[in-house]
Amino acid sequence: MNIAVLVKASLDTNMLRVDSSGRLLIEDTPLAISEYDRNAVEEAVKIKEAHGGKVVAFSLLTWGPIARKEKDAENVLREALAMGADEAHLVSDESLLPGEVGITAQVLAKLLDEHGPFDIVLTGEASMDMLSSQLPARIAEKIGASVITYVRKIEVADGVVRATRDLEDSLETIESKTPVVISVTGEINQPRLPTLLQIRRSFAKPLNKYKLSDLGIPSIVRKLDMAEVKLVTVSRKNIVLEGDKLEDIAEKLIEKLMEEGVVKG
Amino acid sequence: MKALIYSEKASEITDAIGFLHVLSEELNQDFDVYALSLSSEEEVSKEGVKGLEKIYIVDKGTTKAISDVLSNLYSEHKPDIVLGPTTKNSTEILARLAAKNELPMITEVAGVIGLDGDVHLEKPIMGGRALAVYRFTTPILATVPAKKFKPKAVDTTPSIEKLSLPEEDGYKLIDVKPKEKGAVDIEAAEIVVGVGRGFKNKDDLDLAFNIAEIMGGEVGCTRPIAADYNWLGEDRWIGISGKKIRGKLYFAIGISGAPQHIMAAMDSKVIVVVNKDKNAPIFQYSDYGIIADLYQFLPVFIEKLREKLGK
Ligand SMILES: Cc1cc2nc3c(=O)[nH]c(=O)nc-3n(C[C@H](O)[C@H](O)[C@H](O)COP(=O)(O)OP(=O)(O)OC[C@H]3O[C@@H](n4cnc5c(N)ncnc54)[C@H](O)[C@@H]3O)c2cc1C
Ligand SMILES: Nc1ncnc2c1ncn2[C@@H]1O[C@H](COP(=O)(O)O)[C@@H](O)[C@H]1O
């Protein structure tokens, strides 16, 4: 069973850097593994443990500057390797910044074809930064696989995959032939925390880097023009209630809640 | 210009037409609108959808089968814009169509802005903490949130045509289990006490239920509490993939403050936070913050609250 897992180095939504005028500083915001891509890696490793084969992790850098962000993307792939992936491949190219999901699919599909064929391609349900949920269907189309999205349970038997989709009002089980692209929810499993030894060993595993020209893709055609990224303004009082005793703090809070008209004494 | 709408419920056609009306005003162009709907003819006529030429009706099926039907309609009509609701199935179905035809797509358009002749579309990113602004272009696909854009009064009544689903090969629906519907409507609650992974056991949630009871509110939660642990029903799940709240008070306890959660509570008038980690991001989103262990603070607070409110 050959399994590919796609992991994105997403802008870390808990570490957004903002300047004094409230502008988002994308260049200074660190990248981290997209929350649910960790679940995708865990599921890939689990399937490998049960059925044999290998797990190959792929990532494409979507935020610059490359000089600062490429390291973050490498760390994301190292994390996948430490969790049990066998090899990793990273595309980083100036012309791909900022990322556009259709192009990401086109470029990653090329790499998947080169390193495949894969029976199963796992992704997260949505990337933490862009929340597009388009990549699974787009990559499936490119590599000629079927696609099952928002999956919280996977069963694999020869040549067939059964997956339970977690929808708004129902749980839906789909059976599909392989090759299949599956996007997983955060609830599918509990991602393992790699041990120190596993982290150290991950540095001995292959992590290859590519430019577009290495993939024989001469140029790309953008379909969408992202004019701007605007921070949503959040203005709150940010008052920390302090006191020597918890009783005092509790009283202060109740006082404030009464002042605000939220509770009535 | 021409538009094609995909919808599951008839009301989603209205949502998409609302979006088209806003867009049409900015573009100074009218749309001929066609829709594909999974709802029955009765539901469609009950909704009284107007402002489009024709509604195609098809039975429910797999996303694959439905996207094939939509794809045929796309080839037939060659629309400039294809819209659907922001549901999971719709997102997948539109993404399949976008992939097949190499089209750009915006998942969840939250706004249309006209800027000296240029039209821009906004989309929430980073858990709702930011908006990506895209230049409008055609052809394009987008998913439209419920009740965000209101249609103008129009009177074209659509004709209706029934289509059938294609045969499927190597991809089939095995089972559908409806989810139990919870009875709590936290979107309508004035006071919501939110619980997160700072709670170590399900039984400890009683602390939050006590506060909610004394103050006359409901208990809400983060995604892991509902979806990972199943401690509470999905009707209490707050966030970009759950419910939005907009009451007088959000009292967030043991919650780290990921934007994917807290941005869905930002319309609350007052936000109170209890977290033992003074660096937790949630303090940025708070009016009143308490840096304390919830297991120590809440019992004291509950006692005082009972005292002061005479309950
Ligand atoms: C595409 C996508 C969609 C998502 N949708 C949603 C969504 O709709 N809703 C949602 O909630 N999340 C959503 N998430 C997940 C989100 O990013 C966070 O992982 C989640 O909200 C974290 O939940 P939490 O705050 O309960 O847990 P944690 O992040 O683990 O935080 C627990 C907090 O409790 C504090 N704590 C621990 N012990 C104590 C104690 N004894 N006393 C006081 N404080 C304590 C800790 O300091 C910590 O800050 C989504 C993520 C993605 C990528
Ligand atoms: N640039 C990328 N590199 C690797 N994987 C990606 C990338 N973008 C998206 N993905 C994968 O596709 C999933 C959905 O992403 P999105 O369509 O951006 O919401 C993510 O959870 C990842 O698994």
Q: Does residue A41 have a pLDDT over 80?
A: yes
Q: What is the pLDDT of residue B168?
A: 82
| Short-list B189, B239, B235, CA closest to B213 | B189
Interface test with A, best of B92, B246, B307 (most A CBs within 10 A): B92
| pTM, two decimal places | 0.96
Question: Residue A134: its chain B contacts at CB < 8 A?
Answer: 91, 95, 98-99, 105, 107
Q: Do A150 and B88 touch (CB under 8 A)?
A: yes
Bridge partners (DSSP) listed for residue B135:
B120
A243: Cβ–Cβ under 8 A, 6 or more apart, which residues?
Answer: A249, A252
Cβ proximity of A9 and A59 under 8 Å? yes
Domain limits, chain A: 2-215, 236-265
Ligand 2 atom closest to the Cα of residue A61 is 1
Please give the ipTM for the structure prediction: 0.96
The rounded Å distance from CA A28 to ligand 2 centre is: 21
What are the φ/ψ torsions at residue A247 (nearest 5 degrees)?
-55, -45
Ligand nearest to the CA of B201: 1
CA B255 to centroid of ligand 1, rounded, Å: 5
B199: number of Cβ within 10 Å: 23
Give the bridge partners for B132, in sequence order. Answer: A229, B123
Confidence grade of residue B48 (pLDDT, cut at 50, 70, 90): confident
Q: Is B244 in the pocket of ligand 1 (CB under 6 A)?
A: no
CATH class of the A2-215 domain in this structure: alpha beta
Res. B311: pLDDT tops 80:
no
Average pLDDT over residues A50-56: 96
Comparing CA positions, the residue from A123, A124, A122, A129 lying closest to residue A98 is A129
In this complex, do A224 and B106 lie within 8 Å of one another by their Cβ atoms?
Answer: yes
Express the helix, strand and coil content of chain B in percent, nearest 5 each. 35, 30, 35
Which bound ligand lies closest to the C-alpha atom of A62?
Answer: 2
CA distance B103 to B18: 23
| Percentage of residues of chain A with pLDDT beyond 90 | 94
Expressed in percent and rounded to 5, the helix, strand and coil fractions of chain A are 35, 30, 40
Token couple for B227: 């979806």
A44-48, A156-160, B40-44: range with highest mean pLDDT: A44-48
pLDDT of the residue at A206: 98
C-alpha to C-alpha distance for B13 and B19, rounded to whole angstroms: 10
Q: What pLDDT, on the 0 to 100 scale, is given for residue B120?
A: 97
Query: What's the average model confidence in pLDDT over B213-242?
Result: 96
Report which of B50, B64, B40, B58 is spatially closest to residue B20, judged by C-alpha positions.
B50
Determine how many CB atoms are found less than 10 A away from the CB of residue B278. 10
Residue type present at position B25: E
Instruction: Count CB-CB contacts under 10 A for residue B201.
Output: 9
User: What's the CA angle centered on B8, arms A129 and B139, to 5 degrees?
Assistant: 60
| Residue pair B263/B129 in contact by the 8 Å Cβ criterion | yes
Q: Which H or E run contains B113? A: strand B111-115
Q: Is A177 helix (H, G, I), strand (E, B) or coil?
A: strand
Instruction: Give residue B154's pLDDT.
Output: 86
**Greater pLDDT, B43 or A182:** A182
- Cβ–Cβ of A229/B131 closer than 8 Å? yes
- pLDDT, one tens digit per residue, over B156-189 is 889 999 999 998 888 999 999 999 888 899 999 9
User: Which chain A residues touch B134 with a CB distance below 8 Å?
Assistant: 224-227
Q: Which residues pair with A170 in a beta bridge?
A: B178
| CA pair distance B276, B285, nearest whole angstrom | 15
Q: Rounded mean pLDDT of A69-83?
A: 98
Paired sense of beta strands B159-162 and B140-144, if any: unpaired
H/E run at residue B120? strand B118-125
Q: What is the DSSP string of B22-86?
A: HHHHHHT---EEEEEESS-HHHHHHHT--S-SEEEE-----HHHHHHHHHHHHHHH--SEEEEES
Task: State the pLDDT at residue B252.
Answer: 98
